[in-house]
C-alpha cells in the first residue's frame, strides 16, 4: 500500500501535472496521506494506519456492492468507501476527483435547455402512450381487473 509519499510531510503530486494546471491544482487539495503528523513520522504506525483505512474502506465498499441489488443506497455507500480510501491513498483521490468531475459535467448537461426540452417532450409522449393503452384496455375489457377472475 503506497500513498505515493516516501518522506513524512512530503506530498505526492499527480504524474501529469502541467504548468497550465497549476491554478486548478491550487484550488484542489494536494494528493497524499492525510494522516496526523505523529502517525506519518513513525513508519510502523503509518503502515498500520494505512491497513486500518484500507480495511474500513473495503468494508464500506463491499457493503455498497451488496446494496446494489438489494434495497439501499448502494452507489452512495460505494462512493463513501472511496472517500474513506481517498483520505490515505493517491489512487483513490484521483478516482474520486475524476468521478466528481464527471458527475458535475453530467449535471451541467442535464440542465442544458435543449436537453430539458427533449426530456419534457419524451415524458409527454410516454404519458400519452400510457393513457392511450389505458383507454383501450378499459374500452375493450371494462373496469374488471384481470386478477379478479370469477370461478367458472
Grid coordinates given for 32 = 497524499
Q: What percent of the chain has pLDDT over 90?
A: 24
Grid coordinates given for 143 = 373496469
Residue 34 contacts residue 87 (beta carbons within 8 Å): yes
Q: Who has greater pLDDT, 77 or 12? A: 77
How confident is residue 145, by pLDDT bands cut at 50, 70 and 90?
A: low
pLDDT in tens, 56-115: 999 999 999 999 998 888 888 998 998 888 888 888 889 888 988 998 998 888 788 888
Grid coordinates given for 149 = 377472475
pLDDT at residue 133, as a whole number:
95
Amino acid at each position: 500500500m503506497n500513498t505515493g509519499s516516501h518522506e513524512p510531510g512530503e506530498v505526492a503530486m499527480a504524474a501529469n501535472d502541467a504548468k497550465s494546471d497549476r491554478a486548478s491544482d491550487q484550488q484542489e487539495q494536494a494528493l497524499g496521506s492525510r494522516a496526523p503528523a505523529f502517525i506519518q513520522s513513525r513508519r510502523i504506525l503509518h503502515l498500520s494506519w494505512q491497513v486500518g483505512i484500507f480495511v474500513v474502506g473495503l468494508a464500506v465498499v463491499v457493503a455498497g456492492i451488496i446494496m446494489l441489488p438489494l434495497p439501499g443506497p448502494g452507489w452512495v455507500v460505494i462512493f463513501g468507501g472511496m472517500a474513506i480510501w481517498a483520505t490515505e491513498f493517491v489512487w483513490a483521490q484521483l478516482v474520486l476527483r475524476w468521478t466528481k468531475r464527471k458527475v458535475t459535467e453530467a449535471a451541467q448537461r442535464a440542465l442544458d435547455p435543449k436537453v430539458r426540452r427533449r426530456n419534457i417532450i419524451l415524458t409527454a409522449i410516454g404519458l400519452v402512450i400510457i393513457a392511450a393503452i389505458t383507454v383501450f384496455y378499459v374500452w375493450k375489457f371494462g373496469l374488471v381487473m384481470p386478477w379478479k377472475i370469477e370461478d367458472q
